[in-house]
Amino acid sequence: MTKTIVRTAPQSGPTRRSWRSRCDADGVLFGLVLLWTFLACCFPLCDTDFWWHLRTGELIVERGELPAVDWFTFMDVDKPWIDLHWGFQLLITGLYHLGGGRLVVVVKATLLTATVAIAWTATGRTLPTWLKTLFWIPAIVAISGRGYERPEVLTQFFLASWLWIIPRLTERPRLIWLLPIIQVLWINCHSLFILGLVVGVCYVVDRIVREFAKGRWGLEVAPQEPDARLLMYAGIAVGLAAFCNPYFEQGALFPLVLYRKFSVEQDFYSVQIGEFAQPIGFFLKHGARAFVNFYFVAELTIWVLAAVSFIWLACYRRWNVLRVLLFAGFSNLAWEATRNTNIFAIVATTTLCANAQDILKLRQQVASRPRPRLQIAIGTSLVVLILSVVTGLWNVLGEQNKPFGFDERYGTFPHAACLFAGQRGFPDHAFVAHNGFASTYSYHNGPGGRVFMDGRLEVCSRHTFELFNQIRYRMLRGDRSWEQLVPLDPEGRLPVVILDCKISKPQISGMLLTPGWRLVYADPVAAVFLEERLAEKLSLPIASPELLFIPIPL
């Protein structure tokens, strides 16, 4: 009797093909996410702080030294200047002289895209890509909303690196030695290096609590790696890294000085500076109209999703100390000042993805199960978002201040007015009524030409800021008593006055009616006023004020 052998086709073929198709679909979604991030962060240079950062970098190269006291103002000339941004300043100086504003914008967008890529892979490794994409969409909106050419671009990159390393220490404990290196780079680029220490402290507290709990109270058992000795040595190295800056202990403790300005002195600075305002204040001011703002809605969405994920885990009697501490701490930063929205978005979304992964495991759902329709729908949505950016629709629907493009936004900075005011024979002092645009004057004329104050809160005192506001108020009334509040330059002259057409038109109207002052330069961006007697001495005619009211084309 013969046996009939029935050969069946191997089952691995279709499974392998489905796995490959799923990986291909996931890769496409991830690629679209990164492409959208890059394009959304490609908008013309418009941040007012850029110019003093750039000029500082140039002066560091020229002089071969870092600032110790202020280089740019005449009111706070003797104030110490702890310039922890010097690494960022050298970076943009090299980029700007190599490829101008266009290269700066491209590198900024690349860094922010890399930040999203690192944070994306930090947690939620088994989450479906379509679900992870949904979580990261509001985060990318928040990140692009603050995607300016500022040192915080590097802070986001370094913070994402911390969040990527921490979850991997159990399997690869030696990665912990990257953290002191990151901190040394971070403290020499931005004062928010303190955030790395915050993440580190949260991690140590989590380990201590889990060691004590021993698997009770809904906590996971503490991992064996890295061991206590390695944690201690690495913690000491991270702490010492804070002193690896040119200002030593002054640099290490400097974040406390800045924190006071948007916490203890919040009542003053939140009114004076938009980025120091609290999100709740934005809502109270605009009411239901606040929900039309993309960036406000994105921040609120991130917070609600993350909060719900914690509540969901609590229903299973599970929680994670590290994530709770990170979410609570960075939520506090976000609600204290809108300038922290992007940083909060990165931390909250990584914790959200980690929580979502745990929820799927507890529900015994297969996280890798493909959802072709969802993948196609979300991929299509990302394509629409990309097209909205490059066509300008995203800018129209948003705050209309981030059109897609490169280089410098036309008509934003008073370059011509500042160059005019820096001519030979003009005063060495300048009062620029927009403290952000004062950096443009410093870029073209500093450090020989100095301004009353600029946007560097690490130098400007509250007293100077209050005098600045008094002067602006008296100018719009045509009250010449403001002259008594301003020191004369070395030759005994009052400062040249530069008034922008963006927020200082009331002051322009007041100065046009002020006797003893002459409008000597005008364009659609700014006006320059000079004392009448000095204008006569320099043979400067009266400029036409009509030029100040010509709208700047978008």
Task: State pLDDT tens for residues 469-517.
Answer: 999 999 999 999 999 999 998 889 999 999 999 889 999 999 999 999 9
Identify whether residues 390 and 422 lie together within a single domain.
no
Identify whether residues 301 and 431 lie together within a single domain.
no
Q: Number of structural domains, the chain?
A: 2
Identify whether residues 462 and 313 lie together within a single domain.
no
Which residue has 């690490």 as its token pair?
Answer: 458
Identify whether residues 452 and 378 lie together within a single domain.
no
Grade residue 10 by pLDDT with cuts at 50, 70 and 90.
Answer: very low
Residue 12's pLDDT is what?
Answer: 45
CB-based contact 522:490 (threshold 8 Å) = no
Percentage of the residues of the chain whose pLDDT score is greater than 90: 62
Residue 292's pLDDT is what?
Answer: 74
Cβ count within 10 A of residue 274: 11
Residue 371's pLDDT is what?
Answer: 72
Task: State the DSSP code for 58.
Answer: H
Of residues 290 and 328, more confidence is placed in 328
Cβ count within 10 A of residue 478: 16
Closest CA to 122 of 110, 103, 135, 106: 135
Q: Which residue, of 345, 365, 397, is where some domain finishes?
A: 397
Q: Which residue, of 367, 397, 427, is where some domain finishes?
A: 397
Over residues 462-468, the mean pLDDT reads: 90
Sorted by sequence, the CB contacts under 8 Å of residue 32 that are 6+ apart come out as: 379, 382, 383, 386
Closest CA to 108 of 57, 161, 147: 147
Identify whether residues 286 and 343 lie together within a single domain.
yes
2 within a domain of the structure (yes/no)? no
Q: Which residue, of 336, 371, 397, is where some domain finishes?
A: 397
272 within a domain of the structure (yes/no)? yes
292 within a domain of the structure (yes/no)? yes
Over residues 268-288, the mean pLDDT reads: 67
Of residues 276 and 51, more confidence is placed in 51
Identify whether residues 305 and 422 lie together within a single domain.
no
Identify whether residues 220 and 102 lie together within a single domain.
yes
- E-assigned strands of 392-489? 429-432, 450-451
Dist CA 426 CA 92 (whole Å): 30
Residue 11's pLDDT is what?
Answer: 46
Task: Give the least confident one: 138-142, 277-281, 430-434, 492-496.
Answer: 277-281
Residue 367 has pLDDT above 90, yes or no: no
Residue 24's pLDDT is what?
Answer: 80
Percentage of the residues of the chain whose pLDDT score is greater than 70: 89
Domain residues for the domain of 89 are 20-397
Over residues 155-159, the mean pLDDT reads: 97
Residue 258 has pLDDT above 70, yes or no: yes
pLDDT per position as a tens digit, 170-220: 999 999 999 999 999 999 999 999 999 999 999 999 999 988 888 788 888
407 within a domain of the structure (yes/no)? no
Identify whether residues 249 and 367 lie together within a single domain.
yes
Residue 418 has pLDDT above 50, yes or no: yes
Closest CA to 140 of 39, 44, 37, 279: 37
Sorted by sequence, the CB contacts under 8 Å of residue 75 that are 6+ apart come out as: 452, 453, 460, 464, 467, 487
457 within a domain of the structure (yes/no)? yes
Identify whether residues 505 and 366 lie together within a single domain.
no
- Residue 499, helix vs strand vs coil: strand
110 within a domain of the structure (yes/no)? yes
Mean pLDDT of the chain: 88
409 within a domain of the structure (yes/no)? no
Residue 414 has pLDDT above 80, yes or no: yes
Encoded tokens for 370:
């493909």
Task: State the DSSP code for 410.
Answer: T
Grade residue 21 by pLDDT with cuts at 50, 70 and 90.
Answer: low
Element housing 433 (H / E): none
Identify whether residues 385 and 507 lie together within a single domain.
no
Identify whether residues 386 and 428 lie together within a single domain.
no
Residue 26's pLDDT is what?
Answer: 83
Over residues 108-122, the mean pLDDT reads: 96
Which residue has 């990665």 as its token pair?
Answer: 175
Cβ count within 10 A of residue 60: 17
Which residue has 């004392």 as its token pair?
Answer: 531
5 within a domain of the structure (yes/no)? no
Dist CA 203 CA 274 (whole Å): 33
Identify whether residues 373 and 485 lie together within a single domain.
no
Residue 548 has pLDDT above 90, yes or no: no
Residue 55's pLDDT is what?
Answer: 97
Residue 372's pLDDT is what?
Answer: 78
Sorted by sequence, the CB contacts under 8 Å of residue 154 that are 6+ apart come out as: 87, 88, 111, 186, 189, 190
Residue 340's pLDDT is what?
Answer: 85
Task: State the DSSP code for 408.
Answer: B
Residue 5 has pLDDT above 50, yes or no: no
Residue 537 has pLDDT above 50, yes or no: yes
pTM given for the model: 0.90
Residue 305's pLDDT is what?
Answer: 96
Task: Give the least confident one: 310-319, 365-374, 520-529.
Answer: 365-374
Residue 95's pLDDT is what?
Answer: 96
Dist CA 89 CA 411 (whole Å): 24
Over residues 228-253, the mean pLDDT reads: 93
Burial 499-529 (b: 16+ CB within 10 A, else e): bbbbebeebbbbbbebeebbbbbbbebbbbb
Residue 19 has pLDDT above 60, yes or no: no
Task: State the DSSP code for 192.
Answer: G
**Residue 109, CB-side half-sphere exposure with 13 Å CA sphere:** 23
Residue 205's pLDDT is what?
Answer: 94
